[in-house]
Amino acid sequence: MTAVFAVSAPVHAQNGKVVYNKWCAGCHGDAGAGDGYGSKAMLPHPRDFTKGVYKIRTTASGEIPTDDDLRHIIEVGMPGTAMPEWKSRLSAGEIGAVIEYIKSFSPSSFKDTKAKVIAIGNAPSGSGIDEGKAVFQKLECSKCHGMAGRSDGKSAPTLKDDYGNPIRPADLTENWKFRGGSSVQAIYTRLRTGLDGTPMPSFQDAIDNKLITDEQLWRVAQYVHSLSPEKAPESREVIRAARSASALPTSPDAPAWQNVERFWVPLVGQIIAKPRWFAPTVDGVWVQALHDGTKLVLRVAWDDPSKSPDPVWDEFLGRMSKTLTDVDGPLATQQGPDRLVVQWAQHPNDESKRPYFLGGDAKMPVYVWRWTSEPRLEEGTETGIAKFTALPNGRVTQAAKYVDGQWQVVFTRPLESSDTTQVPRFNAGHAIPVAFFAADGSSGEDEIRGAVSTWYMVYLDVPTPKRVFVAPIAMIALSAGLGMLLVTRAQRRVENGGSAADSSHTEER
């Protein structure tokens, strides 16, 4: 098969051109320079094939990738980017052909050069997460990735790719977005090879210099893997606000929150209202909720590597505005604050009518909490995104904390409301539609450029009636009693029929 491919390579590349022009050129450009019409709004930009430089490889830093490396990325896509998987659309033959064509964009890289795969062994046995953490610190990974791995390291604001585009270190707590895959082996491979074209270097030389062992690098991979949830979070429609018998936690770092279930709400770029935004910083919020029959507390936490505004991010904003030039006008020249909008349907019980998810409209407004890192909290209504009117006598309070690249905000408000036309009834036993908007001021995001979710529900648990506790106990007692009766009867039958000699028991009948 390999030989056939080699002989027929030119034809192959021709077929590849057809596939490429149909499916790839829109982003990667007709001549493979990463400058297709879709590229201007994308961050990260599509790969420029003319350089022959690739992030995800099994070869050493600076080397060309193998065909299998290219095939892998085409087949599975690149999580966290606009690059989708193509395995379900393209045949193996088409993918093979397009690989040849992609390589032809950089003949000086691929011609007469054979890619040399680095031998990747198996992970050492046992888990060495603690050791991995120590080596992670020794290698100063936090310089870019941050102390908690949330891409907020000291150098993060200065990072750029080979083209000068702004680039963020991977958020190590969201491994489902790792470009080359989330497995320990994939992470280890990236540590050995680096991600060419980005600031992520290869740590091969640290092994060669005996600064660390190969096993220790595996431990780092295990540690990095452990920073994310075991599985990528699934979004569920209903966020449960459990009823709490004890005092509600109103500070973001109250220990009580550790025992409250958290719900992942994914956010995507706001690309409906202008100016549209295709490169959101925030990709989701973690939501927790509790109530005690009189108050609701909602804790929203989201990763944002910058506490905006912060002068160290000025350069980054400058890069953003240079890179994303073609999206509905220029970005702000100055950083704004970070933002979060919690949006509620005003009339949750009217299920036939739900407001437009993007801030409602004039006919059906939404009720919102507008939080900014200034800090500031406004309560009011919106009749469209950022079309805000404040309500008098706001009853929501907030407490916010910025920790290692994450905002944590707790909102508190009474369940009761005097204004039930503008404000939904936060009644226990009901589900109230809620949606979220988040913006990062340091990357040029504002009231409209940001990340949005669609509608979710917050369901307030009803007080647990006493019978809920009594009934199970009664049932247990009842079934235990019946069970005993049955067992006893059965035993007697056995004894009667099984041993005539032992007649002493039969008299009990």
Partner 1 sequence: MKRMTLGAVALAFGLWGCGGSKGGNAGAGNSAVAQAGGSGAGAGGGAAGPTGNATVSGVIHFTGAAPANPKIDMSQESACQSKYTSPPTDPQYVVSDGKLGNVFVYVKSGLPVGATYPKPTTPAEIDQNGCLYHPRVFGVQVDQDIIIKNDDNVLHNIKALPKENRGFNISQPSAGMTSKRSFTKPEVMVPLECNVHGWMHAWVGVLPHPFFATSGPDGSFTIKNLPAGTYTIEAWHEKAGVQQQTVTVGAGETKTADFTFSAPKA
* Binding footprint of partner 1 on the chain (CB under 8 A): 52-53, 61-64, 109, 138-140, 143-144, 154-155, 158-160, 162, 194, 196, 198-206, 208-209, 211
CB 373 to partner 1: min, Å: 22
Report which of 193, 182, 181 is spatially closest to residue 217, judged by C-alpha positions.
Answer: 193
φ/ψ of 345, rounded to 5, equals -70, 140
Please, are residues 159 and 199 in contact by the beta-carbon 8 Å criterion?
yes
At 223, list the tokens: 């540690």
Report which of 423, 441, 312, 300 is spatially closest to residue 368, judged by C-alpha positions.
Answer: 423
CB 194 to partner 1: min, Å: 5
CB 159 to partner 1: min, Å: 6
Indicate the residue among 61 and 185 with the shorter CB distance to partner 1.
61
Indicate the residue among 162 and 326 with the shorter CB distance to partner 1.
162
Indicate the residue among 200 and 267 with the shorter CB distance to partner 1.
200
CB 359 to partner 1: min, Å: 38
Rg of the chain on CA atoms, in Å: 29
3-state class (DSSP) for residue 287: strand
Indicate the residue among 145 and 240 with the shorter CB distance to partner 1.
145
Q: Which residue has the tokens 């997460």?
A: 129
CB 191 to partner 1: min, Å: 9
Report which of 459, 263, 272, 457 is spatially closest to residue 359, judged by C-alpha positions.
Answer: 272
CB 187 to partner 1: min, Å: 15
CB 307 to partner 1: min, Å: 16
Indicate the residue among 130 and 140 with the shorter CB distance to partner 1.
140
Report the distance separating Cα 197 and Cα 450, nearest Å: 27
Report which of 81, 86, 84, 85 is spatially closest to residue 16, judged by C-alpha positions.
Answer: 86
Indicate the residue among 135 and 434 with the shorter CB distance to partner 1.
135
At 196, list the tokens: 């060419």
DSSP 117: B
Indicate the residue among 59 and 408 with the shorter CB distance to partner 1.
59
Please, are residues 102 and 70 in contact by the beta-carbon 8 Å criterion?
yes
At 316, list the tokens: 């980054």
Please, are residues 270 and 449 in contact by the beta-carbon 8 Å criterion?
yes
498 Cα distance to chain centroid: 66
Cβ-based burial of 403 (10 A; exposed 0-12, middle 13-18, buried ≥19): middle
Indicate the residue among 173 and 202 with the shorter CB distance to partner 1.
202
CB 51 to partner 1: min, Å: 9
